[in-house]
Amino acid sequence: MGGVRRVILLLLILGSVAGAWLLPRLPEAWNPFAPIDLAGPTGPFTRHKLRGLAGDPAACFAALEAAGIAATPLPDASAGPDCPLRDTTRLPGPFDPARPLLTCPMAAAWSVYERQVLDPAAQAHFGTGIARVRHLGTLSCRNVRGGSRRSQHASANAIDLAGLRLDDGREVSVLRDWGRETAAGAFLRDARDGACRIFAAVLGPDRDAAHANHVHLDLGRWSACQ
């Protein structure tokens, strides 16, 4: 049984003993039954709640709005055979290419990641903020490399983080800086490790050569932190 499931079971047992007293007093991040606050701190149930938004698009877009993120729902569509596009949006922000197409849960996950991981890591390692995020795309109607199942990119449920530009003009590149004993290398390690608290699958250069120039982030069924 996974760690989150064990904690949920414990809370259920405690909740049955303590009645209505315990759970309402827990912070949102530690209460598995409280609606997610995208602007709040992360906790052991953050990833669980983000994945749960896939079954409740109304709650997902409401959470984005409550966090001050202007994300307009797009009509359902298809990117090709077995590549459905459901509950998607164009995520605003300093992206290059601009306004990537993402599922609502991925947009929600990114907003948490940006606030709770990327921005603090940039301040810690560089003493400045992030001006622009470079990505290698979100949508590609294809299977996983070397496999027979569809990639999370096939439904815009993933994004490939390639690097960023800081407010002071410095550039950080996964291809160039991953594994280096520099501020940029340490930042990228923290960015990868922090992503594992939020996204389901996090695959970077340590995974294989196919990820040498980016860190793949998704909210699919399979979990990985590499």
Q: What is the pLDDT of residues 29-81, one digit of tens each?
A: 888 889 999 999 999 999 999 999 998 999 999 999 999 999 999 999 999 99
Question: Do residue 71 and residue 149 come from a single domain?
Answer: yes
Provide the 3-class DSSP secondary structure of residue 11: helix
| Closest by CA position to 75, among listed 90, 62, 60 | 90
Residue 96 has pLDDT above 70, yes or no: yes
User: With contact defined as beta carbons under 8 Å apart, do 133 and 80 qualify?
Assistant: no
- pLDDT tens-digit readout, 158-196: 999 999 999 999 999 999 999 999 999 999 999 999 999
Question: Do residue 58 and residue 94 come from a single domain?
Answer: yes
Question: Do residue 14 and residue 61 come from a single domain?
Answer: no
Q: Range of 204's domain?
A: 35-225
The residues, ordered by sequence, that sit 6+ positions from 58 with a Cβ below 8 Å of its Cβ are none
Residue 220, judged by CB atoms within 10 A of its CB (0-12, 13-18, 19+), counts as buried
pLDDT at 222: 92
CATH code assigned at 105: 3.30.1380
Question: Do residue 16 and residue 98 come from a single domain?
Answer: no
Question: Do residue 73 and residue 149 come from a single domain?
Answer: yes
Can you give the pTM of this predicted structure? 0.89
- Total domains present in the chain: 2
Question: Do residue 49 and residue 28 come from a single domain?
Answer: no
Residue 19 has pLDDT above 50, yes or no: no
pLDDT at 146: 82
**Up-side HSE of residue 43: CA atoms within 13 Å toward CB?**
20
Q: How far apart are the first and last CA of the chain?
A: 21
Question: Do residue 20 and residue 4 come from a single domain?
Answer: yes
Question: Do residue 44 and residue 137 come from a single domain?
Answer: yes
User: With contact defined as beta carbons under 8 Å apart, do 130 and 94 qualify?
Assistant: yes
Question: Do residue 77 and residue 179 come from a single domain?
Answer: yes
